[in-house]
Structure 1
Amino acid sequence: MIYVIDGSLESLLCAVFEWFERKPGKISLQLEKHHQPDAFSTEFYVHNDNKKADRVWTGLKKKLNAGWMRRFYCTFLSESTQAYNSLFEFSCYIFSNPAGAEANYGNVHVLTVAQTAKKVEREKHRMEAFIRFQLSADGIFYCGVDPDFNVLPLIMNHFKNRYADQHWIIYDLKRHYGLYYNLEQVEEVSLNTEEEKNLNRPTAELQDGKERLYATLWKDYFKSTNIAARKSTKLHVQHVPKRYWKYLTEKTGT
């Protein structure tokens, strides 16, 4: 039996509800965009229902503490089909056992949720550390990113609190949506293809004149404070993996 979901958190929670309602035995989840029907499998298309999803979410909150609820959400943000299946099995396991079942790391699904959440949290912290804004000619600070996981919901409060007096946009070029802060609240935004290209490769016309000067000064400062004799590329890459260098002003052109 295959449960087909659209990939939203609501659809995942509804799949849990439907399983307890129907008790079909062993099932697996597949995302609708990846699913290909075949003659040997039985499919059940899960329809989203706010009431069903809310019942499952409320039930999980009664069984799990805030830390585990965050792990659940972080694992969902990993966006992998394997993670969705682990969350489904984890939820069924939690509901089918007494309180404290989440402490059983001998259960493969408990372990997978914990490990996946840790990876997502690591990506969140790296985004918070390595994102560098550029100032556009219209006075908005912006940055285009392509994180491994969908971490924008997790980094929103960090940047809202840290840059509360500035208009800014953080745009996920891989998932084609971003966050825009207007000095009052953070809004979700989407750009067209041409706007995304401009965000990813800002031209001199789009940048504020001072931004280019600041970038040059920062690079010069970085070079002047770097002690060549103490340079350890291996250690440096461990702390700042190369895939994040594109966000760092001092690494431009490296």
Structure 2
Amino acid sequence: MSLRAGNSSVVSELVTLPPGSFDHAQPGEFLRDNHPAPAPIVREMIGTPLEIMKFQVTASDYDRCVSDGACKPADSRLAGNVPATGVSFLDAQAYASWLSAKTGESWRLPTDVEWAYAAGERFRTDIEGGEGDPADPAKRWLTQYRNETALGRKPDPEPRARGSFGLNSKGVADIAGNVWEWTSTCYAHATMSSGGVASSIGNCGVHVVEGFHRTYMSNFIRDGKSGGCAVGTPPDNLGFRLVHDRGGFLQAALRCLGLT
């Protein structure tokens, strides 16, 4: 899909996914009787076609934003047709705002639900440790460690040319490769009851990051290995892809207000 604004040309190849529904483990931290509990699974609905970038935003894409003074420089080692990495949530938001202004259309980070829907069979939820044991808090941590180790993930720090990790069944490229992706979903701390989630407090200083599995990072973190609030082994790289809202800015505003 080619979009033009003035004398500039911004090219973003999109995949359009039809509406659908799926069972989805909720993101965040869940407690029952003040002890960790598995995330509840909810039936989620994508009610309208979802237009998402086929590839992650590349270094050359991102450099245009830097050249315009709207984005901070990313990983200086990278150029051309490789994913932009070394970008924080704040950087990704700045790029989405720049692209929206440049094209006159609405671009934004996907939600956790949208990303999971687009990821299809490549989506992995949090590394779970089962129910918390009040008598042995370390037991759950050890279970998490064993579950992550069983996935067989190996360090893979060098970003590769787009398409290197292939397509998933929905035609979206490089899902769950070695570049993990920011979403617009805030971290949540929830208390469970017998009827489900009793209360939930959001922390939008931390956002959901998707990749080999789901994790959480502070908004300002650009290098996942430097820390933040990651769960499990930290991400090799932090990058992003965007969703295109065909309804434009009004639809995006209504979504933010919870009216659509």
- TM-score, normalising length from structure 2? 0.20
- TM-score, normalising length from structure 1? 0.21
| Greater C-alpha Rg | 1
- Bigger relative contact order (CA 8 A; separation at least 6): 2
* Structure with higher strand content: 2
* Structure with higher helix content: 1
